[in-house]
């Protein structure tokens, strides 16, 4: 039995927008994360996969406790188990959040390399993070510590005195990872950390993240649409479709025997070098999250739709020998 570091219970995170026109106003709810429950184990690499608009970025934001208008937590909880204390992150105020961010939980947002402050040197951005937790610091000592830390990412010492624009995309992304790991957090959350990077740099970044996870003995949650990246580094993966988790399990099991028709398609339709056999898409398109289909959200596109799929939400079914593989599909429920 693995030690659990966080649990997400029945989470509903919606974007609630007010639509105004001259004559009327209405509320629109985009159900980006809808009744999601998930456990995160200590010291694992958990991959969250799915297409754009499936809610994976919203889920990771909620796990970080970064709730900004119009994102609203409608229901559910995210609880961390840190050094014997339980922490419900969605109930914390800004001050409490800033105490645990970077120190216990770090987040690398999507496109993080463009979030570096363009007019401040890299070392100043490190000082900001360190000082927000430890107050005034000895800057000379801190610089040595920063240089040692970025050296692990293969970055030369000149980087600390550089401005972001002097660095390439891959170097900026490594700076962002260095910032996220400098205070040795227990959990690192990374949203699409390799998007917009070249393949060689992508590999470097993925390997760096998994190296940091091992060295810091921490937990890494990585969101990416690139299912092959998950195959390379994740221990366990979760597949999302239209705001719901449709399947979760160890990466080996999911790739060996994907159960949900959507997962099966995602994996089997991947083109591979050396294999020219015909691949096809799934007919139809991902549903609107304002009015998701009743029953199973995948049913309008599923080749195996039963009557029950159109009306009842599929329950999560445990499968596999160690009961760690879950699928939400009527085909597997009795």
Partner 1 sequence: MPPILEVTRKMKTLLEARKVTMVFRIGGLVFGSKLTAVDDVNLTLKEGEAKVLSLVGESGSGKTTLSRILLGLIKPTKGRVTYRGNDIFKLKGARLMEFKREVQPIFQNPFEAFNILKKVDRYLLGTALNYKVAENEMEAKKRVDETLHFVGLSLEDIRGKYPHEFSGGELQRASIARALITDPKILIADEPVSMIDASLRMDIINILLDLKRKRDTSIIYITHDLATAYYVSDDIAVMYRGSIIEYGSVEEVLTKPLHPYTKTLLECLPKPDPKDRWKEEVKLSGLEVKEFEALGCKFANRCPHATSRCFQERPPTVNIEKRAVACWLFAN
Residues that bind partner 1 (CB under 8 A): 51-53, 154-156, 158, 166-168, 170-171, 174, 198-204, 206-207, 211, 225-229, 231-234, 251-252, 255, 262, 265-267, 269-274, 276, 278-282, 285-286, 301
Nearer to partner 1, 266 or 327 (CB): 266
Nearer to partner 1, 59 or 239 (CB): 239
- The candidate with the shortest Cα–Cα distance to 261, out of 226, 295, 299, 234, is 299
Nearer to partner 1, 130 or 150 (CB): 150
Nearer to partner 1, 154 or 315 (CB): 154
DSSP conformation letters of 77-107: EEEEEETTEEEEGGG--HHHHHHHBTTTEEE
Rounded to a whole number of angstroms, the minimum distance from the CB of residue 293 to partner 1 is 15
**CB-based contact 236:248 (threshold 8 Å):** yes
Residue 74 has which token pair? 């409608």
Spell out a b/e string for 93-116, using b for 16 or more CB atoms within 10 Å of the CB, else e: eeeebeebbbbbbbbbbbebbeeb
**CB-based contact 4:81 (threshold 8 Å):** yes
Rounded to a whole number of angstroms, the minimum distance from the CB of residue 38 to partner 1 is 20
Q: Which residues on adjacent β-strands are paired with residue 316?
A: 328
Nearer to partner 1, 221 or 267 (CB): 267
Nearer to partner 1, 217 or 285 (CB): 285
Nearer to partner 1, 11 or 197 (CB): 197
Nearer to partner 1, 28 or 228 (CB): 228
Spell out a b/e string for 228-246, using b for 16 or more CB atoms within 10 Å of the CB, else e: ebbbebbbbbbbbbbbbbb
Edge-first strand listing for the sheet containing 219-223? 105-108, 187-191, 219-223, 45-49, 236-241, 244-250, 325-328, 316-319
Give the DSSP H/E element, type plus range, for residue 316: strand 316-319
Rounded to a whole number of angstroms, the minimum distance from the CB of residue 304 to partner 1 is 16
Rounded to a whole number of angstroms, the minimum distance from the CB of residue 130 to partner 1 is 24
Q: Which residues contact 244 (CB under 8 A, 6 or more apart)?
A: 34, 35, 36, 55, 297, 328
- The candidate with the shortest Cα–Cα distance to 219, out of 186, 181, 249, is 186
Residue 149 has which token pair? 């830390």
- Please count the other Cβ atoms lying within 10 Å of the Cβ belonging to residue 321: 7
Rounded to a whole number of angstroms, the minimum distance from the CB of residue 325 to partner 1 is 14
Rounded to a whole number of angstroms, the minimum distance from the CB of residue 234 to partner 1 is 8
Rounded to a whole number of angstroms, the minimum distance from the CB of residue 141 to partner 1 is 24
Rounded to a whole number of angstroms, the minimum distance from the CB of residue 218 to partner 1 is 19
Nearer to partner 1, 2 or 168 (CB): 168
List % helix, strand, coil for the chain (3-state, nearest 5).
Answer: 35, 30, 35
Rounded to a whole number of angstroms, the minimum distance from the CB of residue 170 to partner 1 is 6
């Amino acid at each position: 039995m693995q030690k659990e570091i966080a649990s997400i219970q029945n989470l509903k995170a919606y974007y609630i927008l007010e639509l105004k026109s001259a004559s009327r106003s209405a509320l629109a709810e985009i159900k980006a994360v809808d009744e999601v429950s998930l456990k995160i184990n200590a010291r694992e690499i958990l991959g969250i996969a799915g297409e754009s608009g499936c809610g994976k970025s919203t889920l990771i934001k909620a796990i970080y406790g970064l709730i900004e208008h119009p994102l609203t937590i409608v229901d559910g909880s995210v609880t961390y188990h840190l050094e014997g204390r339980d922490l419900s992150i969605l109930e914390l105020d800004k001050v409490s959040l800033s105490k645990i961010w970077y120190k216990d939980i770090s987040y690398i947002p999507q496109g993080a390399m463009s979030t570096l402050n363009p007019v401040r040197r890299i070392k100043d951005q490190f000082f900001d993070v360190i000082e927000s937790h430890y107050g005034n610091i000895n800057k000379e000592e801190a610089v040595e510590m920063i240089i040692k830390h970025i050296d692990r990412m293969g970055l030369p010492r000149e980087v600390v005195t550089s401005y972001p624009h002097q660095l390439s995309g891959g170097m900026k992304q490594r700076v962002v990872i260095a910032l996220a790991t400098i205070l040795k957090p227990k959990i690192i959350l990374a949203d699409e950390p390799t998007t917009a990077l070249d393949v060689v740099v992508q590999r470097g970044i993925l390997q760096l993240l998994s190296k940091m996870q091992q060295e810091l003995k921490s937990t890494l949650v990585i969101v990416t649409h690139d299912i092959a990246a998950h195959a390379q580094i994740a221990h366990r993966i979760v597949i999302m479709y239209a705001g719901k988790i449709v399947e979760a399990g160890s990466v080996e099991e999911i790739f060996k025997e994907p159960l949900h028709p959507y997962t099966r398609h995602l994996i089997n339709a991947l083109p591979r070098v050396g294999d020219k056999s015909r691949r096809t898409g799934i007919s139809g398109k991902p549903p609107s999250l304002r009015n998701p289909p009743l029953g199973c959200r995948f049913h309008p596109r599923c080749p195996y739709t039963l009557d029950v799929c159109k009306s009842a939400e599929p329950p999560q079914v445990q499968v596999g020998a160690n009961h760690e593989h879950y699928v939400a599909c009527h085909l597997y429920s009795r």
